[in-house]
Chains A and B, each alone.
Chain A
Amino acid sequence: MHELPQQLANGLALGALYGLIAIGYTMVYGIVQLINFAHGEIFMIGGFGALTAYTALPTGTSLLIAIPVMIVGGALASVAVATAAERFAYRPLRSAPRLAPLITAIGLSIALQQLVWQFYPDAKKAVSFPEFKGEAFKITDSLSIQRADLFVLILAPLCMLALGIFVQKSRSGRAMQATAQDPDTAKLMGINTDRIIVMAFAIGAAFAAVAAVAYGLDKGQINFEMGFILGLKAFTAAVLGGIGNIYGAMVGGVVLGLAEALSIAYIEDIPGMSQLGGGAWSNVWAFVLLIVVLLVRPQGLLGERVADRA
């Protein structure tokens, strides 16, 4: 039960999930300095969009065909809601004091939960999601990886790689970096910063939809509240890695996921701490880790000290 490789694999899969969601927090923060607390709900909406797409498929469709359809359906839903939120909730508050959009985000988060609860068929309790069934992949006697975990372990690095190339190499990516570093000057270069901001929200939402599909395939169900704690964890991951830094989001996610998995497995073995281990305490240890990192390295693991503005 406590074999280290297995715990590391579990932690990595959990961390990849956190990282995918954390991208959304970090990209939006990097460009408009807004903590989009509704991002957890964008993730949740991605899950329901994916489920809707799945329901529209003929019964008996193989999961290998269904999964891409679900990702597209989920991303369409989450991107639509995220960009609408940007346009109608956040953009009018762009020059308001920081607190105003933050409160808006919290309100939006509650509103989105309630809308799904009220209007999505049977969503007042957990609804079942196609589960990625089948044998786990046995790598050694003591290490096997669930299919759903494998899905996120493959997709998360691919998404990350694609995003890295986009930001570093493409014209829009360069414009995104410029907007993050100095929005007014970016405008002077001819960059339509409003479009770049929408793009940041959209990319974050699409990544959250991928995460939601991974989450649903793993748990076999989704619910209207699932964005709350996962959003909080992913936000923690983004801060842990250094908010504003896209690689930091992934690193923070992985560190957080590993810490959780290891705390579940090993804390109770420490003499005198047998009461503080197991799954019930994993959230506590996750946030303890956050506090420690913030004390020792407030800018996060990969964050930069902001001192380079003239």
Chain B
Amino acid sequence: MTALLEVKDLKVAYGKIEAVKGISFEVNEGEIVCLVGTNGAGKTTTLRTLSGLLKPVGGTVTFDGKPLAQVPAHKIVSLGLAHSPEGRHIFPRLTIAENLQLGAFLRTDKEGIEKDVERAYEMFPILGERRKQAAGTLSGGEQQMLAMGRALMSRPKLLMLDEPSMGLSPLMMQKIMATIAELKATGTTILLVEQNAQAALSLADQAHVMEIGKIVLSGSGQELLHNEDVRKAYLGED
């Protein structure tokens, strides 16, 4: 079986500064794969490259059997790769309903879209209650729900979530993590970038630790969760 996403020796640079220095990993269908690491490790850069916002300087990315390197950003989502970006980036002056609709921008099946909007409201009832409200008025956690709901609106084969728990209260963080677990249970394939390593690793099938542009450690979520170095560096244990 070939992987849904295959990243090989990926290199990304900002000018002369190499932010991702040749990383390789795979995501298989139905899995949650997690990238953990400190700020500046290159996790967000990796996701932005996968969705075409940045161009790699080396390596290959194969998604669902097709090479991604030359595909422009606006065509990536139609291949089945959706990206919920770091910092949420909802469209603040559009309503919640309009934000969700935009997630399905390339879809033409009106009824299916309506159904999926309703499904997003079921998943996150608060969004349904405020559907006519400008998205910029939502709290951080609600915006995160909206960003996830919006990414799901394209019915992706692979969902990329960048720091979904960033800046959230512990309660909201739990809720978001529970949602990710639910998505996994329904068979959604997820590439997750998280600073909250404890929560992320306990959900992950596979996980990779990144440090300054390289993958320094790989294993199953459970393995890394019990790895001594990981516990020291990311889980705050001495």
Contacts and interface: CB of A to CB of B under 8 A. Distances in A.
Interface of A: 171, 174-175, 177-178, 181-182, 184-193, 304, 308-310
In the A-B complex, list the 5 residue pairs whose CB atoms are closest, starting with the nearest: A308-B136, A308-B92, A187-B73, A190-B106, A185-B89
B209 interface: no
Contact of B93 (A175, A181, A190): A181
Interface in B68-125: 72-78, 82-83, 85, 87-94, 98, 101-103, 105-106
Nearest to B167: A310
Contacts of B94: 174, 177-178, 181
B106 to A, nearest CB: 4
Contacts of B44: none
10 contacts: A181-B91, A184-B73, A185-B91, A187-B53, A187-B72, A188-B51, A188-B73, A188-B77, A188-B83, A308-B136
Nearest to B86: A310
Question: Interface size bucket, B side?
Answer: 20 to 34
Quick one: which of B83, B105, B143 has the most chain A CB within 10 A? Answer: B105
Given A174-B98, A174-B102, A310 B88 contact: yes
A304 B89 CA distance: 18
A188 B136 contact: no
Contacts of A171: 105
Contacts of A310: 87-90, 92, 140, 143
A212 to B, nearest CB: 32
Contacts of A184: 53, 73, 85, 89
B195 interface: no
Quick one: which of B52, B78, B102, B106 has the most chain A CB within 10 A? Answer: B102
Nearest to B143: A310
Given A188-B85, A310-B87, A177 B74 contact: no
B154 interface: yes
Contacts of B143: 310
A190 B83 contact: no
A310 B82 CA distance: 20
Interface string B40-75: 000000000001110000000000000000001111
B203 to A, nearest CB: 23
A170 to B, nearest CB: 12
A125 B73 CA distance: 49
Nearest to A181: B91
Given A187-B72, A188-B51, A190-B106, 10 more contacts: A174-B101, A177-B91, A181-B93, A182-B89, A184-B53, A188-B85, A189-B105, A190-B77, A190-B105, A310-B143
Contacts of A178: 91, 94, 102
Given A184-B53, A185-B85, A190 B74 contact: yes
B148 to A, nearest CB: 13
Nearest to B99: A178
A104 B88 CA distance: 34
